[in-house]
Structure 1
Amino acid sequence: MVKPDGASPAFGARVRTLAPGLAAALLAVAVSLMVHRLVPMLPAMTVAVVLGIAAVNLPGSSALCQGPWRAGLNFAGKHLMRVGIVFLGLKLSLSDIMNLGWVSVLLVVAVVVLSFAGTLALGRLFRLSGDTPLLIATGFSICGASAIGAMAAVKGTRHEDTVLPVALVTLCGTLAIGILPLLMTPLGLSPLQFGQWVGAGVHDVGQVVATAQTAGAVALSAAVVVKLTRVVLLAPIVGVAGAIERKRQARAHLLTNAGTAPKFPPLVPLFVVGFLVMAALRSTGWLADGVIEGGALIQDIALGAALFGLGSSVRVRDLLETGLRATVMALCSWALIASLAFGAVHLMAG
């Protein structure tokens, strides 16, 4: 039965169920953005994850995260993540990427491909189960939690199984902010080279900005362009994974339910198509600065709420008990990517 105002009782109940958790997530985003404004070295997205982890592990708020907030936090972790990925496309300008030159672009692509394959191999070496190695490889090699969310959608990964990869990509990206600037002088890197290294080797866009800005405007500009070159690869890698998953499910269907119509996951999720559309629009140069800035704000709010939601699923006790092998594997992957990026930077200079 539909009420006179057009809203069904089920819809109203759904809104009431989601509202507390969504309100908590949006409040966390506001706090995260404020902390970032006061301390630019701390990316807002990293702060959002940390707040989520704190919320579910502190005695006062833990019960809320597990109870009345849970539905809204899960909604944010899944659906607002996808909204954030769509608006991430507005950060991409293909002309800026092409200005790097074909050699530099190919080197960045090589870093992504080799780090992706190397991380998958490390996952097998450390005997990680399920989609965890794939999600870690995607997040570390492309663009952090956003890439993890996109890959999880293609693979049909359960929401709770994305929590550990997001926690690990946040951990390693946060370590990068503190450690990489200390290595600039010992490694003999110029500001330009340092920015290229950070852009090629650090995971999330916010973490790249926070790390590179310590070396000045030249480093920051170089880091952002190189990083966004990696972000462009989100669509093709997700597309390849989608094709492989469809083929796998088709084979399984023939063996089990040949008499029924198969239901395949999307080759490329709709929100990844939205990401490409936004990138194409930004590349035309038609969008006003205000529109681009507004899109960036929407992205920050959506991704921040999503990461708070995902962080609120990380129980530190459980992580210490079950995530030790994954943590060591992630640190090895981080070292691998940093090494590949360092080599690519010197080839760019050559």
Structure 2
Amino acid sequence: MSTSLLPSTDTPTHSRAARLLDGAHHAGVPFLVAVASWAVCRSIPAASPLVLALLVGAVVVNLPAGSERRVDAWMPSTKFLLWLGVAGLGLGLGLGEIVSIGVFGIAVVVVTVASTFLLTRWIGTRMGVEPEAVQLVASGFSVCGAAAIAAVEGAVRPRSNQLALALALVTLHGTVLMFALPLAGDAFGFSDRTTAIWAGASLHEVAQVAAAASLIGPAAVAVAMSVKLGRVLMLVPVHRAVSRAVSRAVAPDTDQPSRRGAGVPWFLTLFVVAVLVRSTGMLPDAVLSTTAVLTQWCLGAGMFGMGLGIVLRQLWPLPGRVLVLSCIATVCVTAVPVLMLGLHGDW
């Protein structure tokens, strides 16, 4: 009798250990891609290592020589590294930095994220866009791009083409805004501080904010990054809102909501713990700088894995309603902070 037909004698502990070892084995290539992307982008200020790793994954999966079996083997480890990277973002976010932007700065962050997220969901639903795509676009465009999409993906459970399209759109819009906002701020006669707040409240990726702020002026980087970090903190309530919406959609006619999407995932719990630890001021700068690099590597490996889901033949034809919704989300996330700054007299 073939040994494959015999019942397994592995204990659950042995099985978990085997899965961990297998995952670690398959994490090598994604991690190397992340490190290489990070190294390349260190000399290119406007480049994001996360976007580069995402693009590498998209290229690999669309090559004729791309192995579906190999891609499938990489996916579990890249997802784990992505979640670990999201948790690591908390170590770069101290509550002191958020407080430093003042009550008005915090208000800009909260109102921009909330209005973009809620308006995008409301309009997307009425446009007839698929619910999973609506949640991904609303989350990614309101908070922090691909990292936010990765954070809510487990609750939403979208199809691969929905996830790929959301990632492609948020990357495209963010890249355009990265160059457009500094030029627009200069054309409108905004002060460097005003344009920096605008960039931090509107751009998706942390690297995009840093690049845009460097184009605005040397004093703009600290302001823009503080505002952006405030948006990253909104990951937790946004994830909770998405989870509740998914639960209601799955079980709308019952008193007991579905468990799908319920609860706060472990990586967001670690994210909050990391923020609190960073805020104590006990961690030395050497530790924070090291963990910042490791976080970028984990996120890069995760973005490589998400890029593996961007199969071009699955994206065509492009759904026009999702494209329109992404443009609406972009208008909202850029217009709300400008209107608030104008009402505050900061133009």
Q: Deviations over 1:228-275 (max 9, x none)?
A: 111111112222333454555565566xxx9xx975544211211110
Unaligned runs of 5+ in 2: 1-8
Residues 212 and 220 of structure 1 are in contact (CA less than 8 Å); yes or no, is this contact kept in structure 2? yes
The match for 1:332 among 304, 308, 328 is: 328
Aligned residues: 338
Determine whether 1:56 maps to 2:57: no
Aligned-residue RMSD, C-alpha: 2.7
Residues 142 and 234 of structure 1 are in contact (CA less than 8 Å); yes or no, is this contact kept in structure 2? yes
Report 1:1-350 matches (<5 A).
1=9, 8=14, 11-12=17-18, 15-16=21-22, 19-20=25-26, 22-60=27-65, 63-64=66-67, 66-72=68-74, 74-157=75-158, 161-246=162-247, 263=259, 265-350=261-346
Alpha-carbon distance, 1:217 to partner: 2.2
Amino acid at match of 1:111: T
Within 1, Cα distance between the matches of 2:312 and 2:258? 40
> Which deviates further from its counterpart, 319-328 or 110-119?
319-328
Unaligned runs of 5+ in 1: none
2:4 maps to which residue? none
Within 2, Cα distance between the matches of 1:221 and 1:347? 23
Kindly, what percent of the aligned residue pairs are identical? Answer: 29
Alpha-carbon distance, 1:224 to partner: 0.4
Alpha-carbon distance, 1:88 to partner: 0.6
Within 2, Cα distance between the matches of 1:332 and 1:262? 31
Q: Residue 243 and residue 199 in structure 1: after superposition, are their counterparts in 2 closer, same or farther (change >3 A)?
A: same
Amino acid at match of 2:25: A
Within 1, Cα distance between the matches of 2:122 and 2:258? 31
Q: Residue 247 and residue 128 in structure 1: after superposition, are their counterparts in 2 closer, same or farther (change >3 A)?
A: closer
Within 2, Cα distance between the matches of 1:167 and 1:112? 20
Alpha-carbon distance, 1:137 to partner: 0.6
Residues 122 and 333 of structure 1 are in contact (CA less than 8 Å); yes or no, is this contact kept in structure 2? no
Within 2, Cα distance between the matches of 1:106 and 1:10? 45
Residues 111 and 344 of structure 1 are in contact (CA less than 8 Å); yes or no, is this contact kept in structure 2? no
2:5 maps to which residue? none
Alpha-carbon distance, 1:54 to partner: 1.6
Alpha-carbon distance, 1:195 to partner: 0.9
Q: Residue 349 and residue 90 in structure 1: after superposition, are their counterparts in 2 closer, same or farther (change >3 A)?
A: farther
Q: Deviations over 1:63-85 (max 9, x none)?
A: 23x2223221x214422221011
- Matched residue SS, 2:309: coil
Q: Residue 156 and residue 34 in structure 1: after superposition, are their counterparts in 2 closer, same or farther (change >3 A)?
A: same
Residues 45 and 304 of structure 1 are in contact (CA less than 8 Å); yes or no, is this contact kept in structure 2? yes
Q: Residue 55 and residue 349 in structure 1: after superposition, are their counterparts in 2 closer, same or farther (change >3 A)?
A: farther
Alpha-carbon distance, 1:41 to partner: 1.0
Alpha-carbon distance, 1:323 to partner: 4.0
- Matched residue SS, 1:321: coil
Amino acid at match of 2:273: V
Residues 133 and 158 of structure 2 are in contact (CA less than 8 Å); yes or no, is this contact kept in structure 1? no
2:6 maps to which residue? none
Within 2, Cα distance between the matches of 1:345 and 1:55? 43
Amino acid at match of 2:94: S
Residues 87 and 274 of structure 2 are in contact (CA less than 8 Å); yes or no, is this contact kept in structure 1? yes
Alpha-carbon distance, 1:161 to partner: 4.2
- Matched residue SS, 1:179: helix
Question: What is the TM-score of this pair, normalised by structure 2?
Answer: 0.87
- Matched residue SS, 1:185: helix
Within 2, Cα distance between the matches of 1:76 and 1:126? 36
